[in-house]
Structure 1
Amino acid sequence: MVAFGKRLKERQIQEWQGYYINYKLMKKKVRHYAQQIEAGVEDRRHVLKDFSRMLDNQIEKIVLFLLEQQGVLATRITKLGEWQESLQQEPDISQLCELKEAYRAAGQDLLKLLYFVEINAIGLRKILKKFDKRFGYRFTNYYVKTRANHPYSQLQQVFKHVGIGAVVGAISRNLGELQDRQGSYLSIYDQPPLRLQDPIIDSMKTAADRLTHSTNFLNFLAQHALIMQEELPAPVEEEAEDQKYHFMSLLLNLANTFLYMVNTYIIVPTADDYATSLGAAATVCGIIIGAMAVAQVFSSVYFSAWSNRSYFRPLIFSSIVLLVGNIMYAMAYDLDSLAILLFGRLFCGLGSARAVNRRYISDCVPLKIRMQASAGFVSASALGMACGPALAGLLQSNFKIYKLTFNEDTLPGWVMALAWLIYLVWLWISFKEPVREVEANGTTEESNAAGAADNDALEKGATRPLLICSQDSQQRDFDEDEDPDEELEEAMPDETKKPVASLASAYRLLTPSVKVQLLIYFMLKYAMEVLLSESSVITAYYFNWNTTAVAIFLFCIGLTVLPVNVIVGSYISNMFEERQILLASEILVCVGILLSFHVIVQYTVPQYVISGLIMFVSAEVLEGVNLSLLSRVMSSRLSRGTYNGGLLSTEAGTIARVIADATITLAGYLGDKLLLNVTLLPSLVICMGSIIATIYTYNSLY
């Protein structure tokens, strides 16, 4: 295993090495503080003051070099602009080609500068987390609060790369004007970005986007998938590396995601009618809908483990189980059995292969298109959620074939069974099992995943001694050629370097910031599930809506997902920090919940629709920024393996849905009159708790 400090040094540009954050020195300094505090010769105030001063000096060194290099690039671009002006007067093909190459060379140097900023930003985050973990002072909170919001903030220069965007724009604009075919557009500002074919422009924009985390629709949408990325950026020369993958297999994974979401929500408009037709209360729809989520809690774990060995076999198993589950769901009507209905939904939940779908994208899709694949995963989920209720609204026939009844209650089961049968045949014919690295290179997946744990001294801090007391280690504390912390990391048992082996081990790696983000994810999934699952019962009681009206309402709500993400990803995320959007979205979810309560006045359709829309849209915005922040504050040991960050978030969301659906059924015993307020009350309490927790950890979300 190569320690994070060594990997950081390997990724540095050789001629700029003196201007990077001195991560090695600062790590030694943290250890020195531990020794001094243990010996009783330093107090907390002095440690905080001294470490703050050292960080300020490191950041100032980075920023001054950054400004100097920006000035050098600006001078080069100015001279190239003068050259371009002269060529417009007297065009020369050979000189135009030279000018293009000169702009590309400037773009390559800008890429180097973007990587310089990104590596320093990662190093700063790591050393702040290491300090907090070692001493428990919540130093990051203090440091970010005092430095980031100051009018003379140098920290913002590093984390927000102030000024570099202008250089990216200048090179992009001038290279765009030198393109042979510009169409009918007046300038690059009028034409779509995809028309700029020069690869250096795409590379610059990708690098800049990675620094800001979400500056366009695709980036923002892809964050919903919580597919962990490589921690350190790849060197410039590795960006163009070609990696092969099987497009049809990716498409089959996305189709599985879409069909599963359709399967989940296709019964929502009719579940209450189906329950009453079998002699149960309408609010038993909560259990019917939630049965799928109950089984998914368990299926997510074994599918995640299974995907360590294969992708094809778990997808085949998933399709067969879903086929059987939907047939059971449909036949429960003629068998007059609520138990078979529930078992059918449980079978559908046992076929949830979303963990496989996510792992396939993470492990088998090339890095250069992984963002688009992740966005496709989220889009397939969103479209499935919208199409499920819409399809239910269309299935309004009522007829019999032999002894089988086909009506609005059973048709969703029969249609989905047919869909999974067709998918199963397509999967068998077209899916290509990717070659495992263990077969190609003789290495295991775990050996590749070990690199993800390179920086985890902070997670291992609880298992290593605070102070190494040997005289030799004290003497070489600041020896430039030795790093005791890195030696300790190398000496740690192999199991501490691998992905975690159980949910309990994963839980122990969760910091307060991660726990708060998982709480937020739980909250938003709980609120959304209450809104969607009880919609048929609530609207029938208050407004006498039929199945078609409920289906149209749910379809319209589901259609807001992609447009909302376009707005947030393309505009709002450029104007505000993710943590600001996070807190604002939580507050809006809370407002939506408050507006949904039925108080003294008559409950009206506009009140229900507007409050539901505010709640749902705010929760969708919240999900994107929540998962983006979660991927940033989560341990790198959770980036791969069975018990990864995606599985933890899936489990949090699935458990939220289970509890929400159970709440609906239990509240039904109090009567339809109280159902709305009783189910909204837990949502409100959890939402307010998440807002308080977010404020408490706000400055650590940086």
Structure 2
Amino acid sequence: MVAFGKKLKESQIQEWQGYYINYKLLKKKVNRYAQQLEVGAQDHHYVLKDFSRMLDSQIEKIVLFLLEQQGQLANRLCDLREQHDVILQLRNGGSKICELQEAYRGVGHDLLRLLFFVEMNAIGLRKILKKFDKRFGYRFTNYYVKTRANHPYSQLRQVFRHVGIGAVVGAISRNLADLQDHQGNYVSIYDQPALSHPDPIVHSIKAAVNKLSNSTNFLEFLGKHAFIMQDDLPSPSEDDVAEQRYHFMSLLLNLVNTFLYMVNTYIIVPTADDYSLSLGAAATVCGVVIGSMAVAQVFSSVYFSAWSNRSYLRPLVFSSIVLLIGNTLYALAYDLNSIVVLLVGRLFCGLGSARAVNRRYISDCVPHKLRMRASAGFVSASALGMACGPALACLFQTDFKIYKLTFNQETLPGWIMAISWLIYLLWLSISFREPPQEIKRDIIPQEVRAGTVVNYAVENGITQPLLLNMEPKQGENGDQEYDDGEEESCEKTRKPVTSIVSAYRLLTPSVKVQLLVYFMLKYAMEILLAEASVITAYYFIWSTNSVAIFLACLGLTVLPVNIIVGTYISNMFEERQVLLASEIMVLIGILLSFHIGIPYSVPQYVGSALITFVSAEVLEGVNLSLLSRVMSSRLSRGTYNGGLLSTEAGTLARVIADGTITLSGYFGVAKLLNATLVPSLFICISSIIATCFTYNSLY
């Protein structure tokens, strides 16, 4: 593993060496600024001004070279266009067509080199900005991006948006398709792109452009909801390990576990208020009944994450047994007439939450080429379970006894889930294959994540000046360098963090804001879903069936919304723009939900709920995508990983939301709606303000 400066030097195209960002020089300048400020030789104003000037000069060098190379590619395409027109007029031009195809592919290969040049410079620029912020405790990135990216003559946007490259890609694609499809007798790629057969070089170019410009598709966008950090450049040895550990049936069992757990979570929502009433409690106690599962999940996520370091089968077996017991207790509470047994049953269900294991299995045991699909499968299973849970609840309209056991709409969710977990446990015992432990111990945390290389300053959350105690060495022109000491320290800190405190220290302001946004959206969604049965019964006298259908319809919007956002919206706007717009839409949905003055109507409730839920779903995808980019890669592995932190933030939000519903019940059902919406409104406004403060650091 190498530090970014060394990686940049090794990967440079030699004839373009003078046009790359001079990362080494910029890093030395940062170190020199630290020394000058320490002894009082310079002030902060000079440092900011001088570093801005250096960055401007570096970016201008990159952009002018980029434009020059684009011009050369365009000239070559113009020459090939002339040959193209002549060749297509010939009846027997087979050999010349092959030569022309190779010429177009040659332009494509040179374009790939140019795209890699841009990628390395963009990474270097992001890293040096983060290094500067960490070294001096400034928000320099926020200032620099705001002033440079939004200027009408912005050169910074050329590095990150590559205007003009798309036209070159289009020219190569169209002309190769022209030569390929019956020598000109073809359907245009613009009219029927599905009928064309992209050349391998075109496929490579499009993949490189998408990677560079953060373009995405539905599968990738959906996979981001799983918050399983993707290594864009996995080492061959790591991918070989994953290939040896991969077992399709084991992956399928993990996804089934995810599905059943989400069904288990939401199957009781339509009937929780009636169950509470039948046991002598208030209807609003449904908040505690629903939330008790989330309370236990706060703790279970940690021990399941730690357990998955040693095994996957044993925690899944334990999870199934605990959920079997929990659902049985939930069902028996009716005949025992005990609200305590009901709550204990739900606590057991929360203690059986193995979502941390499901995530870790995909991260550790699925090959890189299949990981995004597996992540999308994880999210799809969750969404399907969320929709199926309430839908199943509306089917249990029966009431009968077998011996002394009652089977009705309150108890059947418990009995059905208990049987489901028993069947799953048997299937798990027969079909799951435990990955080899000796291979598992050999896994080394990757240095590269999302196309970037770990930066010591950023990855370790250091707020004090770096490297001041390291022994410097003399570099060019007598300047002091710290590369060796920095790399040695970097080697010592690549292992996963070992405590929640260590993980918290790695959280930069941007990461904390993204976790706040995640907390907000989960809080708003839980308030909406958990109190739906009470609110609709009070205002609209909805039956259990009506509530179940309403909640199921909300759950069914997840996949269509993600198709639209992943295919279109995320490619039209930056993720940070979608993030802020989604937060504002959640705010609008909350505001429309309040009951003030006029009679509360079904269209108002359903419309506001739909806006809130759909906006929160969109927000979750872009939030976790941005979070994976700004979060330290040390949190991609180990017990205290980024997935655990996001799960804990979301689970804590659900716990507080369900507690809010129960506490607000003391004011009466008539005031429940507004009382629970006020905290949602406050948290949402706070998250929007926090996002605005860190907006430019999400570039």
TM-score range, shorter chain: over 0.9
5 Å-filtered alignment, 1:353-392, equals 353-392=354-393
5 Å-filtered alignment, 1:255-274, equals 255-274=256-275
Does the CA contact (< 8 Å) of 1:32 and 1:477 recur in 2?
no
Using a 3 Å threshold, how does the CA distance of structure 1 residues 310 and 40 change in structure 2: closer, same or farther? same
SS of 1:129's partner is helix
> TM-score scaled by structure 2?
0.93
Counterpart Cα distance in 2 of 1:87 and 1:258:
58
SS of 1:314's partner is helix
Does the CA contact (< 8 Å) of 1:11 and 1:235 recur in 2?
no
Report what 2:641 is aligned to: 644
Does the CA contact (< 8 Å) of 1:176 and 1:196 recur in 2?
yes
Asked if 1:599 is matched to 2:596, the reply is: yes
Asked if 1:219 is matched to 2:216, the reply is: no
Using a 3 Å threshold, how does the CA distance of structure 1 residues 217 and 451 change in structure 2: closer, same or farther? closer
Q: Pick the aligned partner of 1:563 from 516, 536, 560.
A: 560
Does the CA contact (< 8 Å) of 1:327 and 1:344 recur in 2?
yes
SS of 2:445's partner is helix
Does the CA contact (< 8 Å) of 1:449 and 1:499 recur in 2?
no
User: Deviations for 1:152-200, whole angstroms, at most 9, x for unmatched residues?
Assistant: 1111111122222222233333334455699x98332344659646443
Task: Say which is worse superposed, 81-90 or 692-701, in terms of deviation.
Answer: 81-90
CA deviation after TM superposition for structure 1 residue 271, in Å: 0.8
Using a 3 Å threshold, how does the CA distance of structure 1 residues 477 and 304 change in structure 2: closer, same or farther? farther
User: Deviations for 1:618-647, whole angstroms, at most 9, x for unmatched residues?
Assistant: 111111111111111112221222111111
Using a 3 Å threshold, how does the CA distance of structure 1 residues 677 and 319 change in structure 2: closer, same or farther? same
5 Å-filtered alignment, 1:145-164, equals 145-164=146-165
User: Deviations for 1:327-383, whole angstroms, at most 9, x for unmatched residues?
Assistant: 221222222222221122111111111112222222222222322222222222112
CA deviation after TM superposition for structure 1 residue 234, in Å: 6.7
- Aligned residue identity for 1:375: A
5 Å-filtered alignment, 1:509-528, equals 509-528=506-525
Does the CA contact (< 8 Å) of 2:461 and 2:508 recur in 1?
no
Identity %: 72
CA deviation after TM superposition for structure 1 residue 9, in Å: 3.1
Report what 2:665 is aligned to: 668
Report what 1:252 is aligned to: 253
CA deviation after TM superposition for structure 1 residue 10, in Å: 3.3
Report what 2:69 is aligned to: 69
Report what 2:321 is aligned to: 320
Q: Pick the aligned partner of 1:444 from 439, 442, 445.
A: 442
CA deviation after TM superposition for structure 1 residue 474, in Å: 7.2
5 Å-filtered alignment, 1:228-627, equals 228-230=229-231, 233=233, 245-435=246-436, 438-439=438-439, 444-445=442-443, 447-449=444-446, 454-460=454-460, 462=462, 466=466, 468=468, 473=472, 475-476=474-475, 483-484=481-482, 486-492=483-489, 496-627=493-624
CA deviation after TM superposition for structure 1 residue 297, in Å: 0.8
Does the CA contact (< 8 Å) of 2:225 and 2:624 recur in 1?
yes
Using a 3 Å threshold, how does the CA distance of structure 1 residues 342 and 239 change in structure 2: closer, same or farther? closer
Report what 1:18 is aligned to: 18
- Aligned residue identity for 2:647: T
Report what 2:6 is aligned to: 6
5 Å-filtered alignment, 1:679-698, equals 679-698=676-695
CA deviation after TM superposition for structure 1 residue 433, in Å: 2.7
Structure 2 stretches lacking a partner, 5+ long: none
SS of 2:225's partner is helix
SS of 2:394's partner is helix
SS of 1:669's partner is helix
Task: Say which is worse superposed, 659-668 or 118-127, in terms of deviation.
Answer: 118-127
CA deviation after TM superposition for structure 1 residue 138, in Å: 0.9
CA deviation after TM superposition for structure 1 residue 450, in Å: 6.0
Counterpart Cα distance in 1 of 2:214 and 2:239:
18
Counterpart Cα distance in 2 of 1:461 and 1:635:
9
Does the CA contact (< 8 Å) of 2:231 and 2:448 recur in 1?
no
CA deviation after TM superposition for structure 1 residue 544, in Å: 0.3
Does the CA contact (< 8 Å) of 2:472 and 2:481 recur in 1?
no
User: Deviations for 1:6-44, whole angstroms, at most 9, x for unmatched residues?
Assistant: 233334344433322221211111000001111211111
RMSD between aligned alpha carbons? 2.9
- Aligned residue identity for 1:259: L
CA deviation after TM superposition for structure 1 residue 444, in Å: 3.1
Using a 3 Å threshold, how does the CA distance of structure 1 residues 174 and 313 change in structure 2: closer, same or farther? farther
CA deviation after TM superposition for structure 1 residue 650, in Å: 0.8
Does the CA contact (< 8 Å) of 2:273 and 2:283 recur in 1?
yes
Counterpart Cα distance in 1 of 2:422 and 2:224:
31
CA deviation after TM superposition for structure 1 residue 424, in Å: 2.3
Task: Say which is worse superposed, 104-113 or 21-30, in terms of deviation.
Answer: 104-113
Report what 2:56 is aligned to: 56
> TM-score scaled by structure 1?
0.92
Counterpart Cα distance in 2 of 1:194 and 1:383:
33
Using a 3 Å threshold, how does the CA distance of structure 1 residues 58 and 230 change in structure 2: closer, same or farther? farther
Counterpart Cα distance in 1 of 2:228 and 2:500:
18
Counterpart Cα distance in 1 of 2:182 and 2:414:
53
User: Deviations for 1:196-235, whole angstroms, at most 9, x for unmatched residues?
Assistant: 464433332222222222432222222212221237x579
Report what 1:44 is aligned to: 44
- Aligned residue identity for 1:476: G
Does the CA contact (< 8 Å) of 1:2 and 1:451 recur in 2?
no
Using a 3 Å threshold, how does the CA distance of structure 1 residues 606 and 467 change in structure 2: closer, same or farther? same
Counterpart Cα distance in 2 of 1:128 and 1:319:
47
- Aligned residue identity for 1:25: L
Asked if 1:27 is matched to 2:18, the reply is: no
Counterpart Cα distance in 2 of 1:394 and 1:427:
27
User: Deviations for 1:536-580, whole angstroms, at most 9, x for unmatched residues?
Assistant: 000000000001100111111111111211222222222222111
Counterpart Cα distance in 2 of 1:200 and 1:272:
60
SS of 2:294's partner is helix
- Aligned residue identity for 1:632: R
SS of 2:600's partner is coil
Task: Say which is worse superposed, 537-546 or 618-627, in terms of deviation.
Answer: 618-627
Counterpart Cα distance in 1 of 2:622 and 2:24:
32
SS of 2:495's partner is coil
Counterpart Cα distance in 2 of 1:395 and 1:456:
57
Counterpart Cα distance in 2 of 1:221 and 1:261:
17
SS of 1:405's partner is strand
Does the CA contact (< 8 Å) of 1:287 and 1:662 recur in 2?
yes
- Aligned residue identity for 2:252: L
SS of 1:382's partner is helix
Does the CA contact (< 8 Å) of 2:231 and 2:368 recur in 1?
no
User: Deviations for 1:502-539, whole angstroms, at most 9, x for unmatched residues?
Assistant: 11111111111111111111001000000000000000
Using a 3 Å threshold, how does the CA distance of structure 1 residues 168 and 421 change in structure 2: closer, same or farther? farther
Does the CA contact (< 8 Å) of 2:456 and 2:490 recur in 1?
no
Task: Say which is worse superposed, 97-106 or 371-380, in terms of deviation.
Answer: 97-106
Counterpart Cα distance in 2 of 1:402 and 1:458:
64
Counterpart Cα distance in 1 of 2:332 and 2:201:
59
Counterpart Cα distance in 2 of 1:321 and 1:460:
38
Task: Say which is worse superposed, 502-511 or 487-496, in terms of deviation.
Answer: 487-496
Does the CA contact (< 8 Å) of 2:459 and 2:634 recur in 1?
no
Report what 2:208 is aligned to: 207
SS of 1:468's partner is coil
SS of 1:400's partner is strand
Structure 1 stretches lacking a partner, 5+ long: none
CA deviation after TM superposition for structure 1 residue 98, in Å: 4.1
Task: Say which is worse superposed, 603-612 or 365-374, in terms of deviation.
Answer: 365-374
Using a 3 Å threshold, how does the CA distance of structure 1 residues 175 and 54 change in structure 2: closer, same or farther? same
CA deviation after TM superposition for structure 1 residue 463, in Å: 7.8
Using a 3 Å threshold, how does the CA distance of structure 1 residues 301 and 181 change in structure 2: closer, same or farther? farther
Q: Pick the aligned partner of 2:627 from 627, 630, 636.
A: 630
Using a 3 Å threshold, how does the CA distance of structure 1 residues 239 and 325 change in structure 2: closer, same or farther? closer
Counterpart Cα distance in 1 of 2:384 and 2:186:
33
